[in-house]
Amino acid sequence: MAESLDKLHNRILSDARLKAAETIRDAEEKAKRTLDEARAQAQRDADEILSKASLEAEGIRRSILSSRIRANRLRILDEKNKIVQNVLKSVEQKLSEVASTDQFQPTLKRFVTEAVDAIGMDDAVVRVGFYNADRKSLESLGRTFPRGTRLVVDENPIDDLGGVVASDAGGKMIFNNSFRARLERLDNQLLTTISSTIFGE
């Protein structure tokens, strides 16, 4: 009787130990799974952070470079513009002094002819005005005009730089052939000429 009680006693304890061991094993397996999942998730989190960092880095690089390149392009354009404006200033200076050069008489005749032709009237009025132009030589030019054309000599240079303005007798039709007007009309060609000469473009 005592022996069978001992056996029962041992069996109860043995069962308890087995069950305890199984419980602990399950917990250890669960703990291992938890850690494995955590490691995998940590790797995914890290990958995502680095992937975003890579995109962010590319954005930063593009932003730094594009803003600097844009700024440098503006510097280049600004410098070119300054150079062209400087040349244009010299051109205006030269044009205002043209009356004292050999080019004056042929230029004047050409400007007058162009302006009168543009008006296309027999009774055109031609106004001329240049810096330092000899009034007598301007007036003598009137004799070379077609019959009916009237010459008016301005004391002041027309449009600041000098030139010729033709109109019909009523002043309704006007052709401005001043240097300033020609500078504006030939603006594109002028810029191309200056740029190609200076910059070779």
Partner 1 sequence: METEAQAKRILEEAKSETQETLERAAVEAQNVRQAAISHAEQQKAQILKDTRERAETDARSSDMETNSLLENYKKLFEERREVAVKKAVDLILGG
Residue type, 41: Q
CA angle 95, 97, 98 (to 5 degrees): 65
164, 133 in Cβ contact below 8 A?
no
Q: Which phi and psi (to 5°) does residue 16 adopt?
A: -60, -45
In whole angstroms, the minimum distance from the beta carbon of 111 to partner 1 comes to 8
Between 174 and 183, name the residue whose CB sits nearer to partner 1.
183
49: contact with partner 1 by CB under 8 A: yes
193: contact with partner 1 by CB under 8 A: yes
In whole angstroms, the minimum distance from the beta carbon of 169 to partner 1 comes to 26
161, 109 in Cβ contact below 8 A?
no
Q: Which of 64, 117, 152, 156 binds partner 1 (CB under 8 A)?
A: 64
Rg, the chain, Cα only: 48
13: contact with partner 1 by CB under 8 A: yes
Between 68 and 150, name the residue whose CB sits nearer to partner 1.
68
Task: Give CA–CA dist 138/197, Å, rounded.
Answer: 34
Of 124-132, 138-146, 150-158, 192-200, the segment contacting partner 1 by CB under 8 A is 192-200
Query: b/e string for 103-133 if b means 16 or more Cβ within 10 A?
Result: ebeebbeebbbebbeebebeebbbbbbbeeb
Which residues from 111-140 bind partner 1, rule CB under 8 A?
A: 114
In whole angstroms, the minimum distance from the beta carbon of 106 to partner 1 comes to 7
46: contact with partner 1 by CB under 8 A: yes
Q: Which residues contact 56 (CB under 8 A, 6 or more apart)?
A: none
Residue 127, beta-bridge partner list: 152, 165
Binding mask of the shown chain, residues 24 to 43, with x at each position contacting partner 1 by CB under 8 A:
x-xxx-xxx-xx-xxx-xxx
Q: Which of 7, 19, 117, 150 binds partner 1 (CB under 8 A)?
A: 19
169: contact with partner 1 by CB under 8 A: no
Binding mask of the shown chain, residues 70 to 109, with x at each position contacting partner 1 by CB under 8 A:
--x--xx--xx--x--xxx-xx--xx--x----x--xx--
